[in-house]
Structure 1
Amino acid sequence: MTSGQTDSPTAVRALRAPDSRPRQSFHAWGKMVDDACGPLHVYRTEPGEFRGAISAGTFGTVQLASIEAGPHSVERTERLARRAEFTPLHLTCVLDGEVRVSQGGRTAVVRAGSLFSYDGSHPFRMSMRWPIHMVSVKFDHRLVDLRARLEHPLWAATWCGTQGASVLLAGLLRTAAPHIADFDRTVADQLGSSLASLVTAVCAEKLGAAGAGPAAARRALLHRIKMFARARLNSSDLCPSMLARSHNISLRYLQLLFQEENTSPALWIRDQRLERCRDDLADPRTAHLTVANVAERWGLDSASHFSKLFRERYGLTPREWRRQSLLSRT
């Protein structure tokens, strides 16, 4: 139940249901949640006055939202999931209260201090029986090497928040929640990079299990390498040798891992960066950035080289793609 896309890379929205008669207040909350998260059914579970607030912003490649609300439930049905235009993954830390989350036949009850995840591209239901305060990271499936609408271990997954990378993520979310509106652009980008890295590390605990046999172990290692790289696409230091060093393997072995998917580490990194640039160029929220800014944003320092690569990959120059994409939205 995190906030939706914002108006600029570091924009922040603060939304609050008005303090008025209960029916009016909850109606306002339902509209806020629907506007922020895409199509959802929002249900009242307790009588009396209702109050709710969402503070949200975009930080680099992820979005962050702090949610405080009275008891209620939200549900995305199959029909609503098909209607939703933006269906990211959500990794949420419960600061106060309790959440019951159900998705894909799995159900978990999550209490203060713990984390849970769910997938906005698939039907889900969340119920809050008591007042809730939670802070959530919303991110693209590609960050953790997944695809929307396909089953995976992050459906209604939970973490205790006291072990492994979840300790660090929970602490960062708890600290950042009261200050979402206070970060300047530089700090926001740094926070986004830290969040993306911790999200990949936390998700790897569910997604990166080696399984049985050498083939499964290789797939798990490649999965971890891809998640690590996706969190660092905006760094010009990202390269095959850096990936090999960071995972204690030889460059030759890294090349063999990617060769099993008919690509190379360098080509895969380049294609991932071009995809992110293509998304930014088509996004009205980043229309204020020049083509060179977009390229630099994803670790491609040479604007002329970027334009050449982009045209070779997509058949249009970056400017032509941006013009065509933005015109199609009007």
Structure 2
Amino acid sequence: MTTAGAHEVLDRSCWSARAAAHEERVDRWVQPHLARRRRGEKHPVHDFLFGYYSHSPAALRRWHPGYGVTLLDAPEYADARGYAVVQTKTHHCEPGTSATRSGLSVTAAHLESLQPLLKSTLRLLEATATRPASYGCFGLHEWAMVHRADRTRHPVPLRLGPAGTDAVVESHRIACSHFDAFRFFTDSARPLNTLSPGRDDRPDFEQPGCLHAGMDLYKHAFRLSPLVPSELVADCFELAHDIRELDMRASPYDLSEHGFEAVPIETPEGKQAYVAAQRAFTERAAPLRERLTRTAGDLLSVASLPS
């Protein structure tokens, strides 16, 4: 996003190249998902981001430059949510031109309409970043979701069987800080959690070591589209994709038929491996959280300026 008072203008050759690069990047995840969907197949690991989060493959593929950028010769964006025709006299890719041309950009009215979301997102991001990371959960949220359950959440066998899985849950201290994981705990597992995160108090519980807090950076990014650049959305998606693999490798499911080696968190060695990977993801998530925080703050600053 450009700074307040500045504006960037991209001609078709510039913005279409960025759009093509974005599509090529995300297609390595999107196209296999779409192929499975056409075949009526489901992948317990790789389809999660497309099913759990409310952002379709088509929406992920569609590139947006972010607020403060005008696209020239871009009829594809004429009906896009939040865009409108503007007149411009500057040309980012060819300095010195001054001819007035029509273009399309995200409107100030659309920015204004997303102020409540921007404020709540910024509050959550800032609260999460200031809290110390915790590395004692060992991914037990997935185990707690099948504790004493008649059926599993995925059509995949349990590595230790139902009784073995229940024993792991009952022999560990569970400290899940993420509401959107905690809400899927079974009734028998919910009282075993040492924390009680709620839907409306996420800023009081979210912490940067949580895998799901890292995955949710993707949610925060796409919910702010088209105000944020799609490159940032894709960066967050890639992080979420990689985190999801660890999340399921450390789960009670046997994913060997899908090519995933288990991280056996029920053992000391498995716990060490999980925490090492968890720390690495925390480090990867930190700059993305900072970029989202800065972008949301800049957008709110622009929205507060007099028109």
TM-score by length of 1: 0.22
Which of the two has greater strand per residue?
A: 1
TM-score by length of 2: 0.23
Which of the two has greater helix per residue?
A: 2
